[in-house]
Amino acid sequence: MPKRVLHDEYFRKAKAEGYLARSAYKLLEIQKRHGIIKPGMTVLDLGCAPGSWLQVAAELVGDDGLVAGVDLSDVRAPMPPCVITMRSDFTKQDAATLLEPVVAFRGDGSLYDVVISDMAPNTSGAGDHYKSVRLCEAVLERLPGVLRPGGSLVYKVFEGETYPDLVKRTGEMFSWCRGLKPRATREVSTEMFVMATGYEPALKQASRPEGVAPPPPQPKKGWGS
């Protein structure tokens, strides 16, 4: 097995260029290849701490856009004015709470243009793939009511035996979907990044098992930068 190199090219580059983590270059490569985030867009980052994807998304949307982030941990690093964060479990927040930043920003009932997620479970070496897939499924479950029709999605998952099924399920919700392993991903890592465009929410709603109700509304927690 290749030896893991902690302080490699991308680690040093992140330090030099002011990014909080090397993971910034994974989103930058995805953006370079597919141009998913455009100036003036609104982006929701699920599992956003420590904030490197917030930094990249903020650069891409610019002053006329908005980036909202949710995480169980605080984002402690300073962020541009277009970024707003909330410390919370996104799986326990209703759509109305997650939409508060974009509603205030647009002044109407707009939904987010893009949802991104670089989340990973606490790894133990046993069952990490399945834990990662469950997190990604939670992201997919939050899309109705927060991502606009035609919107885009980018998420990270640990590759394993149920990875193809996850990609297939994502593809059934979008008009285009594919996986990518960015160059900034360490050689020993099983990380894959799934990109999807052309969200079709009606298909997602129809896929809910018969007799299963949506999650009940949860108490609201406030947003703050």
Residues marked active site are found at 156
Residue 37 structure tokens: 């985030």
> Residues near 90 by Cβ (< 8 Å), separated by ≥ 6?
46, 47, 70, 98, 138, 142
Rg of the chain over all Cα atoms, to the nearest angstrom: 17
**Vertex 53 angle, CA 36 and 108, to 5°:** 65
Q: Where are the beta strands (DSSP E) in the chain?
A: 42-46, 66-71, 83-87, 112-117, 147-158, 174-180, 191-199
Does residue 67 contact residue 43 with C-beta atoms inside 8 Å?
yes
SS3 content of the chain, % helix, strand, coil (to 5): 35, 25, 45
Q: Sheet containing 174-180: give its strands across.
A: 83-87, 66-71, 42-46, 112-117, 147-158, 191-199, 174-180
Determine if residue 58 is left, alpha or beta; phi over 0 gives left, psi from -120 to 50 gives alpha, anything else beta: alpha
For residue 224, the 8-state DSSP code is B
